[in-house]
Amino acid sequence: MIKAVRGTRDLLPPDTELWNFVERKVREVFARYNYHEIRTPVFESTELFARGVGEDTDIVSKEMFTWEDKARAASEKTQTLTLRPENTAGVVRAYIEHELGRSGLLQKLYYIGPQFRRERPQKGRYRQFFQIGAEVLGPPTAGSELPMRDAEILDMLTALLDAVGLKGWTLYLNSVGCLDCRPAYNQALREALAGVKDQLCGDCQRRAETNPLRVLDCKVPADQPIFEKLPKIADYLDEGCRTHFAEVRAILDTLKVPYQVNERMVRGLDYYTRTTFEFTHGDLGAQSAVLGGGRYDGLSEQLGGPKAPGIGFAIGEDRLVLALQAQQQQALAPLKAFVMPLGKGMNRHAMKLAKELRAAGIAVDVSDESFRLKKSFETAEKLGAAFAIIVGENEVQAGAYAVKDLKSGEQTTVSGGELLAYLAD
């Protein structure tokens, strides 16, 4: 049997319903913020990612699907191509190529599509995965550098997460400075790391020299205590970066967007300047980042384009769907009790009991007095209820119910006063 390649997967119904629901909400919410769709190719010149994302990042140094594409005609050249590992570099390339800055307006672009990274597959981490992303960029005269753009994009993200119904996320925010002030921080970091280098993991020993900022991104548990004592980027931001970050935070406070500053969050791509952010979710285990992004004020120039500051993010759609599914399962908590009125006139009593139990937070469904007891038990089982509670005339008079544990089959009489405690055990 031929199977899907390691790290790739089929998305099947009914899961695809949830994917489509998410994408519908994305289009609705992003349109409200005046974003428009861009579709760039799934493969690009390798050089785009090497220059854009950075040679020394994990993505470029070890995770790209790259191949030599042989010339097929005298008019063609052999070239090195790569399946896109992310979409920001492609969007900025398109911005430059089509001279989108010429309108003088901000470009507010979004995309939904597959990305490819040769990572070790695990839950929430795939070799083909989907991103929902957005980028806002343009000439500085269009206001592309302003802190309000950063705040607007974060506000849009919270609106989207609200619209799809994701609860329990945390927004982590940081500023990684700019090309003017970061060298001093890099130097301080390099010096501090020199003293502790031999205690770090192999990757960090290499990064400590080539790209010290990357060290902060390390997830190896043994390295973490060492990082606590390293210099903090906030102490090295220049005046411009400091006021920019303060203004982003002030607007977020005004918009009541909750966040936590995390000075360790530098992100795994080299193009970031100033604001960086990630949203995490507790139900995702090790791969807890639902989305990440930040500002990239020098990227266009680095790719040979005009000055075009920008900021963007990408949501891991696979992870967003996983988090929503985990949440749904919690919401669809197994039915605790099936209340079964037995005999004429008992529906009212059953409804009263069900209401009391539900008010105490217990998931309850109710049968109907026209059901025979056998049918009620069968229904309770089909619904997966943990307990069946019989509400007949005798029970109502005695103020005690016959309660059957549907797993063990055991039946006991429980007084009304003890019922909640009994079900809770």
Q: Which residue number has the CB closest to ligand HAM?
A: 316
Only one of the segments 97-105, 118-126, 136-144, 163-171 lies at the binding site for ligand HAM (rule: CB under 6 A); that segment is: 118-126
* Residue 314 is a binding residue for ligand HAM (CB under 6 A): yes
Cβ-based nearer residue to ligand HAM, 101 or 133:
133
> According to CB under 6 A, which residues from 78 to 117 bind ligand HAM?
86-88, 117
Burial 90-128 (b: 16+ CB within 10 A, else e): bbbbbbbeeebbeeeebbbbbbbeebbbbbeeeebbbbb
Binding-site size, ligand HAM (CB under 6 A) = 26
What does the alpha-carbon distance between residue 175 and residue 156 come to, in Å, rounded to a whole number? Answer: 19
Cβ-based nearer residue to ligand HAM, 108 or 117:
117
What does the alpha-carbon distance between residue 334 and residue 336 come to, in Å, rounded to a whole number? Answer: 6
Cβ-based nearer residue to ligand HAM, 59 or 233:
59
For residue 17, what are the contacts with CB-CB under 8 A and spacing of at least 6? none
Cβ-based nearer residue to ligand HAM, 150 or 318:
318
* Residue 145 is a binding residue for ligand HAM (CB under 6 A): no
Residue 128 tokens, joined: 């083909």
Peptide bond into 140 cis (omega under 30): no
Cβ-based nearer residue to ligand HAM, 109 or 350:
109
Which helix (H) or strand (E) is 143 found in, with range? Answer: none
Only one of the segments 137-145, 288-296, 369-377, 383-391 lies at the binding site for ligand HAM (rule: CB under 6 A); that segment is: 288-296
Q: What are phi and psi of 361, to 5 degrees?
A: 90, 10
Only one of the segments 148-156, 185-193, 308-316, 361-369 lies at the binding site for ligand HAM (rule: CB under 6 A); that segment is: 308-316
Which helix (H) or strand (E) is 123 found in, with range? Answer: none
Q: What are phi and psi of 400, to 5 degrees?
A: -145, 145
For residues 274 and 181, is the Cβ–Cβ distance under 8 A?
Answer: no
* Residue 401 is a binding residue for ligand HAM (CB under 6 A): no
Cβ-based nearer residue to ligand HAM, 132 or 380:
132
Can you give the binding site for ligand HAM, defined by CB under 6 A? 86-88, 117, 119, 125-126, 129, 131, 133, 135, 268-269, 289-294, 296, 312-314, 316, 318-319
